[in-house]
Structure 1
């Protein structure tokens, strides 16, 4: 599991080949992980519409914690990669330990708050009272094990900062595979293991995260990518501040997504449990359809950060352009595939005719905007890699609360659920244009500051 791309390659080799070499392992890892998350939804769907709706209500909450972990990983990758690009390897190793420690503590604190205020949170999401026992069964275990989710995510960010995208992909894929194995056993029972229902789905996730934590910590130590030795002119507080200066705004930007999803879920809830169940399936299908975007959002930042550390701005711009051209073409192809397969996809997830109808409607409309959404996401990750986290945060606010939620709600007032979906597509198109112009200005600013 040696590093696929060296630090020298990141700052010297041709951009398209280097980006592809870094991205393909991530595609496999993310595809495997998300595929098994879709399998998770499939198994829960077999329990009935209410369990599927209950787990769908948990998505904005669980994704809030996941978003904090993602943001901390972004901060970790940006700081460590830039230091490696500038030749400060010892500092990068020490910062890796600080990142893991701080991330575990923050996620544990957020999970505790989520546990203490569980009932008010789901009441605000308009969850029906009959679904609350199912939501409790799922979330109590999920919150208890959330710390084991963040450590592999931040550990993988440490690996990616060094140019190694292959090992994180293997770890992600292994976690997804374990989750898919544990799911049916714990949900439906096997031999002496009792059927646990939605509680089994949560336990399957926690077990797979725990194994991932052990694997990633061992590998980081074995490869010498983390060190407890404090380098000259370094301090734990200083290192934590550098990571959090990027990680917290990045986490805030990521946490805006589940907040927006919570508002959307509340809007969808007015159409009943079948609509919520269908929307839950749709959001998971969106994750699966966005694999290339997600992979590039993980592999592009180290490439940008290391080249900024080496003051190679033309390579930064080329990497960004290569990435967004790729996602626009790929997402168009994915849309055509989804449209052709829509009736069959709906049948896989539900026997309820109304749920199936709304799933098909989601597929016919929402993926039209995924290419534009990819431009926004890659611009966000590029801003963080450029150590411009506030620009990334501002772009997220514009996308979600100036464009996506208002236009989706306006669409729902005009044409119910179809209008809601169309409004989301229009929002992504408009925001993509803003993101493109914003990045060009940001890169010019970086270049001028380096010259000055």
Structure 2
């Protein structure tokens, strides 16, 4: 199930990294400005991920129980909820751009760049949330290939449009960071159209019968039971990122730029983990619905072992190609190059543990224990991650902050493993007593 999804995520992440490279060619200030937007844009993406998790968990369980008509009702109502939330977020985002980013620590010289980027980005909120919800429903039904292919197509569109819109081509004027945002918006539109053009979506996942309000409320309650804690859990990550970005801003524009590039590299390094986090919930939900508890245990802990080995390989590759990465993003800035080098040597070392943390949260959501997943996220980010990173920054500056992230992931990984083992044992015992 993971391989088809991975192809789409690889494409999107790589073009996201290429996007950062193109923006870096505009200068350190534009790159730092776009880095400040990460916590806000990721908050909206996190909301879409949370809605997707709730939809996937509900749909997967219903499919395991063979309640096919109810699947259509739940997915359709989830799509309506996505549209409503998107419109509200677009309006709220538009009116709060300048004051919000000043609050996050952006200096006045960066605000115009940020405004140019976000004024376009917010227009695509609907095309961020809606296709992710529908893709989650498709994956829950076992169809991971087609969503992956559509993601690849949208990623290719983004990669082609980036240099054209950022730097200009022929009659198309250079638009700078506005062009980067517009390329992303068009790619999301392609993703949305691609998902809704699928026959499987229109025939198997959508209901065109006008529902009673009571049915809609039941759907939103069922999805919200999983989605709301998942959304809050997901949003905790960009909130913590905003706190760290504010700390990093105290070290200068070069520090913010290196943190932004490093975060993009971190995302690319976690591609397989992100793909697995999308396929573990339907795998767990369907097997739970069918009573295959041993298969759930084997799949979950097998994925943990794989992630540790894989991320160790990724860390080695990043160190092997360190010089090439530095030349790509920081050839004109010695300070940026030094900071990025420290990032590559430290943060990726803890990504294996971070992968287990991510998959543990996905597993708890699939087990219909969303509050446990929320508690784990809060514990990781605000008891371990942010405080230890702040301590590291106080003791050793920006480099200490990077190593603090590694220590926090190691500590939280142990807690996540113990929690998953406890709940899987409880499920198995409950089944044995039936």
What TM-score comes out, normalization by structure 1 length?
0.93
Hey, what's the Cα distance between the residues in 2 that align with 1:316 and 1:192?
A: 56
Hey, what's the Cα distance between the residues in 2 that align with 1:449 and 1:132?
A: 56
Counterparts of 1:40-119 in structure 2, within 5 Å, are 40-119=19-98
SS of residue in 2 equivalent to 1:224: helix
The answer to whether the aligner puts 1:169 opposite 2:153 as a matched pair is no
The answer to whether the aligner puts 1:276 opposite 2:259 as a matched pair is no
Counterparts of 1:380-391 in structure 2, within 5 Å, are 380-391=361-372
Contact 2:138–2:201, Cα closer than 8 Å, also in 1: no
Contact 1:91–1:231, Cα closer than 8 Å, also in 2: no
Aligned pair partner of 1:370 in 342, 345, 351: 351
1:404 match = 385
1:437 match = 418
1:129 match = 108
Quote the offset at 1:111 in angstroms: 3.0
Counterparts of 1:145-164 in structure 2, within 5 Å, are 145-164=124-143
Counterparts of 1:213-224 in structure 2, within 5 Å, are 213-219=192-198, 220-224=200-204
SS of residue in 2 equivalent to 1:392: helix
Hey, what's the Cα distance between the residues in 2 that align with 1:165 and 1:409?
A: 40
Contact 1:41–1:52, Cα closer than 8 Å, also in 2: yes
Query: Structure 1 residues 305, 230: CA separation in 2 closer, same or farther (over 3 Å shift)?
Result: farther
Contact 1:346–1:360, Cα closer than 8 Å, also in 2: yes
1:212 match = 191
Please list every run of at least 4 consecutive aligned residues from structure 1 whose deviation after the TM superposition is greater than 6 angstroms.
230-234
Quote the offset at 1:121 in angstroms: 1.5
Moved more, 75-84 or 143-152: 143-152
Moved more, 112-121 or 191-200: 112-121
1:348 match = 328
Contact 2:120–2:182, Cα closer than 8 Å, also in 1: yes
SS of residue in 1 equivalent to 2:205: coil
Contact 1:29–1:171, Cα closer than 8 Å, also in 2: yes
Quote the offset at 1:29 in angstroms: 1.1
Hey, what's the Cα distance between the residues in 1 that align with 2:87 and 2:327?
A: 38
Hey, what's the Cα distance between the residues in 2 that align with 1:36 and 1:246?
A: 31
Quote the offset at 1:195 in angstroms: 0.9
Q: Deviations over 1:354-404 (max 9, x none)?
A: 111111110000001000000100000111111111111110000100000
Quote the offset at 1:443 in angstroms: 2.0
Quote the offset at 1:449 in angstroms: 4.9
The answer to whether the aligner puts 1:425 opposite 2:395 as a matched pair is no
The answer to whether the aligner puts 1:293 opposite 2:273 as a matched pair is yes
Contact 1:372–1:428, Cα closer than 8 Å, also in 2: yes
Q: Deviations over 1:315-343 (max 9, x none)?
A: 11111011111100000000001011112
Q: CA RMSD in A?
A: 1.6
Moved more, 125-134 or 213-222: 213-222
Contact 1:58–1:135, Cα closer than 8 Å, also in 2: yes
Contact 2:131–2:192, Cα closer than 8 Å, also in 1: yes
Moved more, 204-213 or 111-120: 111-120
Hey, what's the Cα distance between the residues in 2 that align with 1:90 and 1:234?
A: 16
Quote the offset at 1:232 in angstroms: 11
Hey, what's the Cα distance between the residues in 2 that align with 1:139 and 1:260?
A: 20
Gaps of 5+ in 1: 1-21
Hey, what's the Cα distance between the residues in 1 that align with 2:97 and 2:211?
A: 43
Query: Structure 1 residues 234, 444: CA separation in 2 closer, same or farther (over 3 Å shift)?
Result: farther
Counterparts of 1:238-317 in structure 2, within 5 Å, are 238-317=218-297
Query: Structure 1 residues 294, 343: CA separation in 2 closer, same or farther (over 3 Å shift)?
Result: same
Hey, what's the Cα distance between the residues in 2 that align with 1:130 and 1:272?
A: 13
Contact 2:89–2:125, Cα closer than 8 Å, also in 1: no
Hey, what's the Cα distance between the residues in 2 that align with 1:65 and 1:222?
A: 26
Aligned residue pair count: 431
SS of residue in 2 equivalent to 1:235: helix
Hey, what's the Cα distance between the residues in 2 that align with 1:140 and 1:400?
A: 29
Quote the offset at 1:229 in angstroms: 3.8
What TM-score comes out, normalization by structure 2 length?
0.96
Quote the offset at 1:67 in angstroms: 0.3
The answer to whether the aligner puts 1:192 opposite 2:179 as a matched pair is no
Q: Deviations over 1:240-262 (max 9, x none)?
A: 11111111211111111100000
